[in-house]
Amino acid sequence: MKSRGRPKVDTQPVMVRMPTELVEQLDQVRREEPDLPSRPELIRRIVEEWMAQRSS
């Protein structure tokens, strides 16, 4: 299991505003995950999955 804390050195912060409805949907999906990821972690997973599908 990954530990929380400072991210890897080779990362960059990305700030994004989302409508409340979308954040609520993200939180619902988070609750369905077995490890209850943070919002940023869930967003990373979603983007990585989308990028993998796009490159297929």
Range of the domain at 46: 20-55
In a domain? residue 9: no
In this predicted model, which residue has the larger pLDDT, 50 or 8?
Answer: 50
What's the average model confidence in pLDDT over 17-21? 98
Instruction: Name the residue among 39, 44, 13 with its Cα closest to residue 26.
Output: 39
DSSP string, the chain: -PPPSSPPTT---------HHHHHHHHHHHHHSTT---HHHHHHHHHHHHHHHHH-
In a domain? residue 13: no
Return mean pLDDT, the chain: 90
pLDDT exceeds 60 at position 25: yes
Number of compact structural domains in the chain: 1
In a domain? residue 1: no
In a domain? residue 49: yes
The 10s digit of each residue's pLDDT in 27-44 is 999 999 999 999 999 999
Residue carrying structure tokens 């988070």 = 30
In a domain? residue 34: yes
